[in-house]
Amino acid sequence: MGFLYSQFFKTPPYPKGDLTGKTVVVTGSNVGLGKEAARHVARLGASRLILAVRSLDKGHAAKQDISQSTGLKNIEVWKLDMANYKSIQAFAKQCEAELDRLDIFIANAGVVRAEWHEAEGQEEGMTVNVTGSFLLLGLILPKMKETAAKYNTRPVFTTTGSAAYDHTTFPQRAAADGEILAKCSDRAFAEKHWDQQYPVSKLVQLWGIRQIGEHHPASEFPVTINVTNPGLCHSELSRDMNSWGFWLFKLIVARSTEVGSRTLLAGALAGPESHGEYLSDGYVEEPTELVTGKAGREAQARVATEIIRQIDSIVPGVSKNFRN
């Protein structure tokens, strides 16, 4: 009932503000929510806008469209494939080398599949939505901390989450006799519980963000990190979900891409009170018992440790950047 009420009766606020002088990165910005979020960023006058995309051709088409509709000329298109750890590392190095500052990072790129796909030795959704996302965050934080110190400002890293996190029983927790995240990429187990695979990735993502916020509060940490839920939208995320039933449901219930993108800006423009928090419909919201209850908190600590172990195995020591 909460989901339908939100979809039909809540409208995220239209983004307002002034981004003059700010450098903003938006991932997954050649289509859908990312593109419309980038358009809002351009409309608010960002001095430098980076479209981080997997397809450079589609990225340049998006750049032209956004520039024509907003008048912003200083838009760049950079390569980033969130399913490839080397691409993530190369992108972070480019940010370090070519950006004087990094004020806002909208990490919107994500994936949901109708069937099993593998990337970097894991189920693709876990690679993109979890491991790759936290690897990217760890690699980007030094530039954002540098920006905070040099320009006396508070950068924001916001990632696109989903209310789908609450639509799982998290079966991996009970089934795992070793690491939970390894169980999330166990093909036989994942395919048996496929309807829960995407929600599980979003649940794990939310736990990871909350763990950082709890262990490194806004009073001590110079960058705001949050996760925002755009609701069900007419975006490209669910393009693999091509059943007639889902198509009809989406036709009736989904928000427009522009309305959904407002939530990404809400996360990007939020203050330190949003650090480590979950935003829905553009406002901070307490997650459900699945996340905040005793079992949820125990699972949060466990998966956060596993995320750190994973990303440190890719880039040794990168998790140190999550500290103050």
Active site residue 198: yes
Closest-CA residue to 182 (of 261, 253, 127): 127
Active site residue 35: no
Buried b (16+ CB within 10 A) or exposed e, 47-81: ebbbbbbbeeebbebbbeebbeebebeebebbebb
Catalytic residue among 22, 35, 63, 202: 202
Q: How far apart are CA 256 and CA 236, in angstroms?
A: 12
Residue 123: phi and psi, rounded to 5, are: -60, 135
Write the single-letter amino acid at 278: Y
Residue 3: phi and psi, rounded to 5, are: -65, -50
In the chain, what is the greatest distance between 2 CA atoms, to the nearest angstrom? Answer: 55
Catalytic residue among 198, 250, 278, 320: 198
Residues assigned a catalytic role? 198, 202
